[in-house]
Each structure stands twice: as structure tokens, then as C-alpha cells.
Structure 1
Amino acid sequence: MKNDESWDQEGSMNIKLFGFVLALLELAAGDAIAKEGSDQYPNGAENWLAGVAPPPGNYFLNYFGHYGGSLHNGNGDKVPDASLSTWFNAFRLIHINEMRILGGNYGVHIIVPIVHQRMKLGDHDSVIGLGDITISPFGLNWHLGNWHWVAALDIRLPTGQYKAGNPGKSIGANYWSIEPLFAVSWLSEKGWEISSKFMYNIKSKNKEFRLGIGEPKMDYASGDELHIDFLVGKRFGLWGVGLSGYYLKQTTIDKLDGQAISPTLDPWSPGRKGEVFAIGPSVSYNSPTGTMFIAQWQHEMHVKNRFQGYTAWLKLIMPF
């Protein structure tokens, strides 16, 4: 058991953190959809052909859309006066090389997001600018009959604007992260597709964290996360319809100066972890020239310690 003095100290810290830190960690980040501070990857971005890398060459992808949602706490309850509305556009370049390693073609990519964010945490704040850039220096892809695989390593850079103590003016997460990933697609002769992308995000510390403007700097360590994009769909000629979505589960707790952050006012809570599941309709069109268009809407549910809302997407895939 902890003594009364330690309870008062930790309890006081948790009370202060509960209203602010939770919101700050759920602030818009430097990813394409700019939803959560602990997310630099735009969850749900990869669906149709997620595990199917194109033939050797150069490709341009564009992700455009909107996210809107309200903050939910560790019990899944809505936090009053805490909401987010974000427009985003991310540019992605992919190069697939003729070179083979372990039987798979070698590839690299870069993603550059631009974000316009409007956040309400009591007051309204808005900001527009560059988000956190993603690079992948190493990726391999394989094809065998109806099965297709991709394995790669993504590195996310803290290039987005970050204002310590002011989440409404922050786009970037202000930490580095690495993310090993594996994507797989099964395509049947009858037009059915099942695709999934499995990712594990490992983050460095944010050493510029502040509880408020003018407060002293602290080290914030966001927990690691397992997240999965998925799609089940059916093609009819050049068109495809299906359901796409994502699941995210935080696997380690958030820590502030090495101390676990409670998701409630209980200082003995096991720690704050985020979770979300989203699903919605998706439509694709493959033009005769090889350009692919995707439109989708994803609704979030079963949310803890994150914003809960929806994402509307338009995605373009084009060889050049």
C-alpha cells in the first residue's frame, strides 16, 4: 500500500493530467489524417491491394480527406468541449526496383502530409502546415499465385509543427518512430479480395512536453501500438465494392518522466492505453490506363483514450 503523502502527490498529478495530458496526447499529429498525437500513421489508409506491390517503376499516390471526432476517455465516455476537425492531403512517391533480395523486389517510398486542423479544447484553435514525414528505406515484395506479400520498415520524422503546451497549435508529434510492417493480399479468380496490413509502431520520447505554456519541460513517452488495416471486397469489371477499416491497440502504457499516466483519477490504475476499431464502405475504380481511384468512409467505435469520429477518404494511385 502507498502512504497518504505519495497518494496525494500522484493523485494530484493525475487530476492535473486527466484534463490536459489526455487531450494533448490525442491532439492532431503529423500524419495524413492528423487525428491523434500518438498516431503518425493514417490508420485505414491501405485497403485495396494492400499487399500487392506494383511492377518495377515509379508511382504517385495521393490521399485526400477529412477527419472529425470528439475525445473519449479510458472508460469510453465523451470528454466535454474536446473535439477535432481536420482536412488533410498526403503525397506519396514509391519506387520499385528490378533488384531482388530474398526473391522479392526491393522498394522505397516517402510520404509528405499537409494538414489543416481545427481543435476545440475549451477554446478553438486552428493551424495549417507540414505534418510528420514518413520514409521507408527498405521494403520487399513477393507474388505467388493468388497471394501477394510486402514487408518493409517505415521511419517517421518529427517534421511537423509542434508547440509545447499548446495542442491546438501542434500538428507534429515531436518524436521519432520506427514501424516494421507486413501486408498480405489474396485475390481470387472470381474477383474477391481479402487484404490486411499489420504494423507495430515504436516511439522515442517527446522531450519538449509541457503541461501548459510556460510550464517546465518534461519527458513524455507514448506507448507502442499494434494496428491493422483491412479490406474485404469484390470486383465487378473495373469497379470494386467492399468494407474497409482498421483496429488499433496500444500495447504499452504512456509515461511522463518515467511515471505511468493513469486514464482515470485512480493513481493505482495500470496506466493509459488507447484502443479503436473502425469500419465502413469502400469503392474502387481501376481505369484502363492503370490509374486507380478509391473512395471510402470509416466510422470509429469501441474507442478508449482517443478521439472517436469518422474519416472520409479519396485516394489516387497513378504510375508515371
Structure 2
Amino acid sequence: MNRIKISGVLRKIFLCFIASAISIGSLCSAVLATEGGGCAYPNGAEGSLAAALPPPGLYYINYLVHYASDRLDNKNGDKVPIDFHARVSANASRILYMSDKEILGGQLGAYGIVTLMNASANTSMGSKTKSGLGDLTVGPVLAWHFNKNLHAATALDITAPVGEYNKNDIINLGRNYWTFEPIVGVTYLGDNGIELTTKFMYDFNTKNNATDYTSGQEFHIDYATGYQVGSWKFGAEGYFYKQVTNDHGAGAAANDGNKGQVFAAGPAVKYDFKTGGFLELKYAKEMFVENRPEGDKFLCKLVIPF
């Protein structure tokens, strides 16, 4: 692999994730899917009760995420032979407002997410660390409570490129393009304490005018299973990501469109506060990775009603 391809890989690492149900989000390479490694949304950020939205009111949701990767995988799932170590930590604050208004029988709400990040890379091409504001996400949401067991929600994440970006850097806090992400989620809460939750997302990305590169469309799912015991819930959570259309730009055609994929799974535990809200901790191990970094993700989610 020559120097041009390696430097392209390193520029393309950040950010495939970081923050929450949320989104946040750099150059085309012959190895990684989409610019930044793919996905403005931080896969796995949501889990338990993702589609069982709360009653009317104002809520604060904090997401703390740490991602660590020491390898890049190519389109065959094999490790790219370069020295690579990356770490990303983010703290995202989401304000969620659920109104008492209804549209199509669903409860209307809206949210905004602001993310502070620290990203670092240590590679054979050099080292770099950045801290600051990531991209901004806002959107409307509709929630349905069909009965005490079955809940659903739909939303539209709109991620604006406000984070710091330089096409010549190996890491970036922003992605320098807009992402529009329709969302559908379903949560089932059984009388026996079982929970099953899925959150389906599909991303449409605009062109990065700094690089003349357009990332492909992306399909991804957050999932959660759990069993409630008193105030505690124990289970397994994770995510699946698959890029479904080709990237367009320099280097994409040579790598079959730079399509990426990843599956992740791990344990999760949740504690419900008596005053409302909850705290959730989880770990996700990535596997079956193609055209992306492969690593480990640690997440903490705190929900506080006002």
C-alpha cells in the first residue's frame, strides 16, 4: 500500500460515531466505507426503551461514549497492514420535549443534540488529537403507545455539519456534509419482564464540497433484549450496519464503492430511579467488519426528567 492510500485511510477514520440518538459525526480512501468510516449516527447509542418515549414533558438525556480501535479492515474483512491506534470519547447532551399534541394518533415531540468530543490517532503517518464541538442534530418525533406492552416511534434526524473539519487532517470532529436519517423504532414490554427493542435507521448523505465526495446510503439497526428484575434490567444489546449504495468520488470505484458493514453485541445493565429516569451501561464488541475500523465501544446513557 503506497503513502497516498495510507494517508487517505487515516484521514477517513473519524467519525463514524459518537454521541447518541443523536448523530455526529474524512477523506476517500481505497479501504474505508464512506468518508469518516461511515455513519453520522453513533451506532449502538440507543437500546432499552428506545421506542417507548416518555409522557409529555421536558427531558435531559446524556450519552457518554468511548470507542477504541487498533485495526482497519478491508472489503474482505482482513486487517489492513498499517500501524493504527484510534480513540474517540464523546459526551452528548440531548434535550427532548414531548408535547400533548397528536398527529396521526402519535404524540408529537422534538429534540436537539449537542456533542463535545475528544479524538486521537497514533499511526505510522504521525499522531493527532482534537477536542471540541461535533456536528449538531435536531429532529421531530412521533410516539405511539398502543397498549402497556407495545410502543412505537418514528423520527427524522437532521445532522448539520458544524463540527471542525479540515480535509488534510487525519482526524476530524465534523463530517462537512449533511445527513438526513429517517427512523422507525418498536419496543415490546412483556408482562413477564422481557423487553425486545429495535431501532431501524436509513441515511441519506449530501456531498462533501471540500473533497467532492458523496458517501453512500446506509442502513443500520440498534437492538436490545432485556429482563426486568425490580429496578434492574439485564440483557444483551448491539447494532448492525450495512452500507447499501456505493460512494462516489476519488478512489471509491476502485474499491467496489467502499461499502462497509459491522455487527456488534455485548452485555447491558439498566437501573430505574424511583424519581423517574434511568441509567444504562453497556459494552459492544464489533465483528464481521468490512471497510471500516474494528473496535470496542463503551456507552453510558442517563435520562433525567425535568
Name 2:115's counterpart in structure 1: 113
1:187 aligned onto 2:192: no
Q: CA deviation at 1:119?
A: 1.0
Give the Å deviation of 1:112: 0.7
Deviation at 1:157, TM superposition (A): 0.6
SS in 2 for 1:55: coil
SS in 1 for 2:209: strand
Question: How far apart are 1:30 and its partner, in Å?
Answer: 7.2
The answer to whether 1:125 aligns with 2:128 is yes
Distance 1:132 1:247 in 2: 22
Counterpart residue identity of residue 262, structure 1: A
From 178, 181, 184, the equivalent of 2:180 is: 178
- 1:40 aligns with 40
Partner of residue 262 from structure 1, selected from 240, 247, 254: 254
Query: How far apart in 1 are the matches of 2:101 and 2:90?
Result: 34
- Unaligned 5+ segments in structure 1 are 1-13, 210-218, 264-269
Match of 2:263 among 277, 280, 298: 277
1:72 lines up with 2:65 in the alignment: no
Cα contact 1:71–1:83 (8 A) shared by 2 = no
Q: Does 1:309 pair with 2:295?
A: yes
Aligned twin of 1:198: 200
The residue type equivalent to 1:250 in the other structure is Q
Q: Residues 222 and 157 of structure 1: is their aligned pair in 2 closer, same or farther, counting only changes over 3 Å?
A: same
Letter in 1 for 2:175: A
- Determine what percentage of the aligned residue pairs are the same residue: 38
User: Relative to structure 1, is the Cα distance of residues 253 and 23 closer, same or farther in structure 2, using a 3 angstrom cutoff?
Assistant: farther
Q: Which residue of 2 aligns with 1:292?
A: 278
**Structure 1 vs Structure 2 CA RMSD:** 1.8
Q: Provide the rounded CA distance (Å) in 1 between the counterparts of 2:17 and 2:193.
A: 36
Query: What are the superposed Cα offsets for residues 250-275 of structure 1, whole Å, 9 maximum, x if unpaired?
Result: 01111116x74333xxxxxx321010
Distance in 1 separating the partners of 2:143 and 2:299: 26
Q: Looking at CA atoms only, which structure, 1 or 2, has the larger radius of gyration?
A: 1
How many Å separate the matches in 2 of 1:255 and 1:26?
17
Q: Secondary structure at the match of 1:262?
A: helix
Q: Is the 8 A contact 2:7 2:170 kept in 1?
A: no
Which residue of structure 2 lines up, in the alignment, with residue 8 of structure 1? none
The answer as to whether partners of 2:37 and 2:292 remain within 8 angstroms in 1 is: no
Q: What is aligned with 2:151? A: 148
**Preserved CA contact (<8 Å) 1:155 1:177:** yes
Q: Secondary structure at the match of 1:271?
A: helix
Secondary structure at the aligned position of 1:290 is classed as coil
Distance of 1:23 and 1:254 partners within structure 2? 17
Q: Distance in 1 between matches of 2:48 and 2:17?
A: 24
Question: Measured at CA, do residues 21 and 222 of structure 1 come closer, stay the same or move farther in structure 2, by a change above 3 Å?
Answer: farther
Counterparts of residues 235-246 of structure 1 (less than 5 Å): 235-246=228-239
> Which residue of the other structure, out of 219, 223, 237, is the alignment partner of 1:230?
223
SS of the residue corresponding to residue 43 of structure 1 reads coil
* Contact 2:53–2:143 (8 Å) recurs in 1: yes
TM superposition score normalised by structure 2:
0.90
Instruction: Show the counterpart of 1:7.
Output: none
Report the residue type matching 2:265 in the other structure.
Answer: I
Deviations 1:68-119 (A, max 9, x none): 0122111212221122111110001100010100011101001111110111
Query: Is the Cα–Cα contact under 8 Å of residues 30 and 160 in structure 1 kept in the other structure?
Result: no
Aligned length: 289
CA gap of 1:113–1:273, structure 2 versus 1, over 3 A, is same
Unaligned ranges ≥5, structure 2: 26-35
Q: Matched residue of 1:171: which SS?
A: coil
Question: Aligned letter for 2:129?
Answer: S
Structure 2 CA distance for aligned equivalents of residues 203 and 65 of structure 1: 23
Any idea what the Cα deviations from partners look like across 1:49-81, whole Å, max 9, x if unmatched?
011010000000001131001221112122211
Give the 3 Å change call, closer, same or farther, for CA 15–81 of structure 1 in structure 2. closer
2:169 corresponds to 1:166:
yes
Write out per-residue CA displacement over residues 12-58 of structure 1, whole angstroms, 9 at most, x where no aligned residue. Answer: xx977643334333323574287844321110011000110100000
Instruction: Select 2:11's aligned residue among 24, 36, 47.
Output: 24
